[in-house]
Amino acid sequence: MRIGYPCKNLTLENAYSSTFRLKSFSETRFNETVKNNLCYLLKILGFNKKNNILFFRISSDIIPFASHPICQTDWSHAFKTELNEIGDFIKKNNMRVSMHPDQFVVLNSTSEKVIENSIRELQYHSKVLESMTLPTDAKIQIHIGGVYGDKNMAKEKFINSFNKLEGYLKERIIIENDDRSYSLKDCLDVHSETGTPIVFDTFHHECLNHNETMQEALFCSASTWKHSLDGNPIIDYSSQSIGERKGKHAKTIDKNHFIALHKELKKFIQKGSTDLDVMLEIKDKEASALLSLALTK
DNA sequence: AGTTGTCAAGCTAGT
DNA sequence: ACTAGCTTGACAACT
């Protein structure tokens, strides 16, 4: 079981993907920023390797404005050396990475323009992973999208949009159950029409479920992954930030809550034929990842 | 140097 | 009507 954290490292200095305002866009600014971001990504991966953290989510900001028309740079060519070096490091060390495009990626939107933008954004994410020559277990995780007052129609819309995507995108995209609209069951409905693997988010499942047992939920979601192509099923983990509104992610790992979940995961792994990789969506990033490794040794 | 308004993009639920 | 939240507050203009 690999443990990971998202997007940035709080121990290392400046170890996040910096960006800038669209108004400040220039070729120079773009190149400087990308060079820096790639350099810090490699540093983060180095830190992770030393600490046995073998899973990491790459920030969508790594190439700023990559899917915007203003960006005309062939960055995958210009930074081929750096991108290859990162990809080689990941592969050499049995690491895994994923990406999670932000809320603007909505494949079932009622606006064609939004869908077009979403596809461009997905193409960009895929290009990052392709440029690192990573296999298709390096996934791009999205939500199903809006409901628009009719969930069945909205699901159909997602299925339609998804099935029209190019094959190289379909191979990378995975769908995540969310905390308010689309439950695991909804994701399974979509999966049956698209074949998209489901990344099971245990915290969202606590917020929105159909009373499945944890073992049932793990079995259903893990069954949507084709091991040779997709790698280990991914689990997103977090817990409720106490005293804050429902769905807000915890600032730091809740030890007992995590240990209980970890037991369930272990139980599932032992009786099943598959391992799992766990992404910790917790605000304090690598601190919780390190703690979780210590707790489960 | 420190503070604060704003940022490419969507949608939902809570206030 | 407005805002917090989402994978993540940081950039940039102002005081």
Q: What's the average pLDDT block by block, 10 residues per block, for chain A (297 residues)?
A: 92 85 89 92 95 95 92 94 96 96 92 92 95 96 93 94 96 94 95 96 91 94 94 91 73 89 95 91 89 91
Report the largest interatomic distance among the alpha carbons of chain A, rounded to a whole angstrom: 55
Which of the nucleotides in strand B have any atom less than 7 Å away from a protein CB atom?
Answer: 7-15
Q: Which residue's CA shows the smallest distance to C1' of B13?
A: A180
| CA A239 to each of CA A28, A113, A212, A260: distance values in angstroms, whole numbers, following the listed order | 41, 35, 18, 12
Tokens representing residue A279 in the block: 């992404």
Q: Which of A106, A124, A154, A139 is nearest to A236 (CA)?
A: A139
Contact A295, A259 (CB under 8 A): yes
Q: In the 8-state DSSP scheme, what is residue A104?
A: T
- How confident is the model at residue A64, as a pLDDT? 93
Phi, psi angles (nearest 5°) of residue A52: 65, 25
Question: Residues of A from 235 to 294 whose C-beta is within 7 A of strand C: which are they?
Answer: 241, 244-245, 247-249, 281-283
User: Could you count the other beta carbons within 10 Å of the beta carbon of residue A229?
Assistant: 11
- How confident is the model at residue A247, as a pLDDT? 73
Contact A15, A44 (CB under 8 A): yes
Which of the nucleotides in strand C have any atom less than 7 Å away from a protein CB atom?
Answer: 4-13
Distance CA A254, CA A261 (A): 11
Distance CA A290, CA A154 (A): 39
Contact A183, A191 (CB under 8 A): no
- How confident is the model at residue A229, as a pLDDT? 94
* Residue A139 bridge partners (DSSP): A98
Structure-token match 């969930």, residue found: A151
Protein side of the strand B interface (CB < 7 A): A 21-23, 60, 65-68, 102-104, 106, 109-111, 114, 117, 121, 145-148, 180-181, 245-246
Burial degree of A74 (CB within 10 A; 0-12, 13-18, 19+): exposed
Q: Which residue's CA shows the smallest distance to C1' of B6?
A: A21
* Residue A6 bridge partners (DSSP): A57
Tokens representing residue A226 in the block: 């084709």
What is the CA A106 to C1' B9 distance in angstroms? 10
* Residue A143 bridge partners (DSSP): none
- How confident is the model at residue A18, as a pLDDT? 87
Residue A28 CB lies within 7 Å of the nucleic strand C: no
- How confident is the model at residue A280, as a pLDDT? 93
Distance CA A63, CA A128 (A): 8
What angle (nearest 5°) sits at the alpha carbon of residue A146, between those of residues A121 and A115? Answer: 30
Contact A238, A282 (CB under 8 A): yes
Question: Residues of A from 53 to 82 whose C-beta is within 7 A of strand C: which are they?
Answer: 57, 59-61
User: Could you count the other beta carbons within 10 Å of the beta carbon of residue A226?
Assistant: 11
- How confident is the model at residue A294, as a pLDDT? 94
| CA A209 to each of CA A32, A38, A110, A183, A220: distance values in angstroms, whole numbers, following the listed order | 45, 39, 26, 6, 13
Residues with Cβ within 8 Å of A256's Cβ and at least 6 positions away in sequence, in order, are none
Q: In order of start, what are the domains of chain A with their CATH numbers?
A: 2-295 (3.20.20.150)
Strands A234-237 and A2-6: unpaired
